[in-house]
């Protein structure tokens, strides 16, 4: 079965640089979530999109922005990178069926290292 | 505020030694409770979604159960390949679909 695809898998940037992470959801899924996970921590929710509109917003820094495109893929844009942004970034997708639990399927992640 | 507490934080088992992981939750109306398995440096792998108290689901050596206050993930006769961190998350009823995650239980199964 098709899974969530994320690219790139690894990314190394310098401080103050910009990074773009991409997420391709499972086919026919209409919702995308972005998470940040530091070492030994649970995933921290950043932002989500449902049918190409922002759905929920979590602890996403103002330096970060995201969008979902017409083909449902999503991009997380990160500017003015800081050392503390080094983490695993996960994208998850789901098929939201109003009212019942929204099971999220996670991608393999992008490991971002800021030097 | 929704809360999820997983215990124990870490668990070491011998191969074949069955045990249970606990996920206690506080939520104002439960839409669903999720179990994931996560290997180091990889994305969480979906295991189960439970919707209401009394529900049980099984997959190979794993069985998840749900009450109004907690969920258990029972591991029967574990193998070394079951070693991973197991995450529990709850999704509250209402407008937001943001799940609240627990800190996870790190399971190591020794051969």
3-class secondary-structure state, position B62: strand
| B97/A58 touch (CB, cutoff 8 Å), yes or no | no
Facing residue for A103 by CB, picked from B42, B46, B103? B46
Eight-class DSSP state of B64: E
- Residue A51, pLDDT > 70, answer yes
The CB-based long-range contact list for B49-52 (8 Å cut-off, 24+ gap) reads B49/A101, B49/A103, B51/A100, B51/A101
Q: Which helix (H) or strand (E) holds B23?
A: strand B19-26
Min Cα–Cα distance to chain A from B18, Å = 25
Minimal-distance CA residue of chain B relative to A45:
B98
Facing residue for A42 by CB, picked from B41, B49, B102? B102
| CA dihedral over B22, A95, B97, A101, signed as positive or negative | negative
- pLDDT mean over A14-41: 95
pLDDT for B56-105, tens place per residue?
999 999 999 999 999 999 999 999 999 999 999 999 988 788 999 999 99
Of the pLDDT bands very low, low, confident and very high (cuts 50, 70, 90), residue A98 is low
Phi, psi of B40 (to 5 degrees): -55, 130
- Residue A42, pLDDT > 80, answer yes
């Amino acid at each position: 079965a098709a899974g969530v695809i994320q690219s790139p898998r690894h990314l190394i940037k310098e401080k103050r640089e910009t990074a773009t992470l991409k997420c391709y959801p499972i086919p026919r899924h209409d919702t995308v979530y972005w998470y940040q996970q530091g070492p030994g921590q649970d995933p921290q929710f950043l932002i989500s999109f449902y049918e190409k509109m922002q759905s929920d917003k979590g602890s996403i820094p103002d330096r970060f922005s995201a969008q979902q495109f017409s083909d449902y893929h999503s991009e997380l844009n990160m500017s003015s990178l800081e050392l503390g942004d080094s983490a695993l970034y996960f994208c998850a997708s789901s098929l939201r069926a109003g009212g019942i639990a929204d099971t999220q399927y996670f991608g393999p992640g992008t490991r971002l290292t800021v030097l | 505020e929704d809360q999820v507490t997983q215990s124990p934080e870490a668990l070491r088992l011998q191969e074949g030694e069955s045990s249970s992981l606990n996920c206690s939750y506080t939520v104002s109306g439960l839409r669903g409770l999720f179990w994931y398995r996560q290997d180091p440096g990889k994305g969480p792998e979906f295991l189960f979604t439970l919707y209401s108290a009394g529900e049980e689901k099984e997959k190979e050596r794993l069985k998840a159960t749900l009450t109004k206050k907690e969920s258990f993930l029972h591991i029967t006769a574990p193998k070394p390949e079951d070693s991973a961190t197991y995450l529990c998350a709850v999704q509250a009823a209402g407008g937001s679909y943001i799940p609240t995650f627990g800190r996870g239980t790190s399971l190591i199964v020794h051969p």
